[in-house]
C-alpha cells in the first residue's frame, strides 16, 4: 500500500459492494481485508476460481457470513524502509533511513481504542514497552513469512530476521 503515511486513516479503506441476489441489504461485515485479499475475495464472491499465486486469500465466506476474522494488518515497505502493524487495539509503525539518505524518526504507537484520532504518540513510553515488544515480534513474523529483504526494513524490524 503506497500512501506515504503511517496513520490508520490511510490504511483503513472501506469497501462497498453491491451483490444482487445475496439477500443482505445494508450489511456491514466485521471482516478486515488486506489489499492482498481483495482479488481472491472478489473472485470468490463472483464464484470465479482465482488461479493466480498471491499472498492473500479468499475471505468471501467470512465476509458473507459476517464471521470475525483476523483483525490485524501488516504495513509493508515502500519508498522508505517502513513497516508496522495495525490491530484492533494498537497501531505500531517504524520508519528507517530513506533511500535518499534522509533519516526519519516518526516511529509511532497509538492506542486505537483510547485515541482513535491518533493524537498521542505512545512510542518509547516505558509503560508501553511490553506492547511494543509483542507487536514488534508480530511484525518480524510477517516479514519472515513473506521473506521481505532486510534492506527494505528499518533496523528495529530486522533485528531477529532469519535467512
| pTM listed for this prediction | 0.72
Quick one: three-class SS letters along 6-50?
CCHHHHCCCCCCCCCCCCCCCCCCCCCCCHHHHHHHHHHHHCCCC
3-state secondary structure of 155: helix
Say how far apart CA 124 and CA 137 lie, in whole Å: 16
pLDDT tens per residue across span 86-114: 998 999 988 765 555 555 557 889 999 99
What pLDDT was estimated at residue 120?
A: 92
Confidence of residue 2 (pLDDT cuts 50, 70, 90): very low
Q: Which residue has the higher pLDDT, 46 or 65?
A: 46
Whole-number mean pLDDT of the chain? 79
What pLDDT was estimated at residue 159?
A: 59
Report how far apart, in Å, the C-alpha atoms of 144 and of each of 40, 148, 153, 161, 162 are.
Answer: 23, 7, 12, 6, 7
pLDDT tens per residue across span 124-143: 999 999 999 999 999 998 88
Amino acid at each position: 500500500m503506497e500512501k506515504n503515511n503511517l496513520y490508520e486513516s490511510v490504511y483503513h479503506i472501506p469497501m462497498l459492494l453491491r451483490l444482487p441476489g445475496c439477500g443482505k441489504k445494508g450489511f456491514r461485515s466485521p471482516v478486515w481485508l488486506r489489499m492482498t485479499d481483495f482479488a481472491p475475495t472478489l473472485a470468490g464472491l463472483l464464484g470465479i476460481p482465482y488461479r493466480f499465486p498471491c499472498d492473500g486469500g479468499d475471505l468471501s465466506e467470512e465476509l458473507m457470513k459476517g464471521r470475525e476474522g483476523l483483525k490485524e494488518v501488516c504495513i509493508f515497505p515502500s519508498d522508505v524502509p517502513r513497516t508496522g502493524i495495525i490491530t484492533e487495539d494498537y497501531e505500531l509503525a517504524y520508519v528507517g533511513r530513506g533511500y535518499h539518505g534522509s533519516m526519519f524518526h516518526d516511529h509511532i504507537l497509538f492506542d486505537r481504542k483510547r485515541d482513535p484520532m491518533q493524537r498521542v504518540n505512545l512510542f518509547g513510553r516505558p509503560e508501553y514497552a511490553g506492547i511494543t515488544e509483542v507487536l514488534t515480534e508480530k511484525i518480524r513474523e510477517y516479514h519472515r513469512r513473506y521473506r521481505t529483504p532486510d534492506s527494505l526494513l528499518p533496523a528495529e524490524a530486522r533485528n531477529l530476521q532469519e535467512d
